Amino acid sequence: MSFYAFICVSYKPLSSFRKVVFLVLKGNLQHIHPISQKGGENLKLIAVTNNMYPVHDLASKIIQIHDVVDFVHIREKSKSSSELLTLLNLLRDNKVPINKIVMNDRLDVALLTNLINIHLPTHGHPVKLVKEQYPTLNVGRSVHSVEEAISSEKNLANYVIYGHCFETNCKKGLRPNGIDQLTEIKKVLTIPVYAIGGIAPDHLPILKECQVDGIAVMSGIFSSENPRDAALKYMERCTSNL
């Protein structure tokens, strides 16, 4: 069923004036739980891009998997603002729900394109400053310890991603942080906690024992010959009782 939805987003930018943006959307309503909502019995699945593909190839892969995963985390450190804007336009044109997109680090791009999810790396903008200036954004933070996780929640983060949990080619030579701290983080935080780093489908049972809210997967999906099939395997494990 087609519809028109009028959404009012109010925020205070770094300059002194306030701006109100009205978005007019037309399409089919899709019920998507926000990234800041806990996972419940089923783990949420975040597909993280790996900065390995040209814009159009990357867009094609995201379009293939967007209806399988819960979120697509765009982590393209080498791409320019222009390339990221082109990517987001391609995704919009191909009906990828914009509230499924998480922009890594690039707050400027997120604001220009009315994204609602921004993820800040450890070295990125202060979470508290971003939340105070743009309170409607869902802001996540990468963490590597219990202390960093506690600090992130105190500074108004909506969720954290903890890693890296297992050995991964993305962090060659670096010892994994393991999952012991992940269990402790889940005990002390009230916001959602996601696991990342070398996660294979077979790791899902032990991660469920840690009671994480979801997983973030990069190479396991985007380095696969068939990203959609790979995403389906992960989602099957995320939603199964095994």
Residues marked active site are found at 164
Q: Identify the residue whose tokens are 């010959």.
A: 225
Percent helix, strand, coil in the chain, to 5, is 35, 20, 40
Tokens of 159: 């969720």
- DSSP-based three-state secondary structure for 75: coil
Round to whole Å and give the CA distance between 195 and 191: 13
Helix/strand/coil (H, E, C) string of 93-110?
HCCCCHHHEEEECCHHHH
Tokens of 215: 């997983």
Length of the chain measured in residues: 242
Q: Which of 103, 99, 109 is nearest to 70 (CA)?
A: 99
Q: Identify the residue whose tokens are 């306030």.
A: 18
Tokens of 128: 């508290």
**What are 143's strand-pairing partners?**
162
- DSSP-based three-state secondary structure for 170: helix
Contact present, 212 and 189 (Cβ < 8 Å):
no
Round to whole Å and give the CA distance between 211 and 191: 12
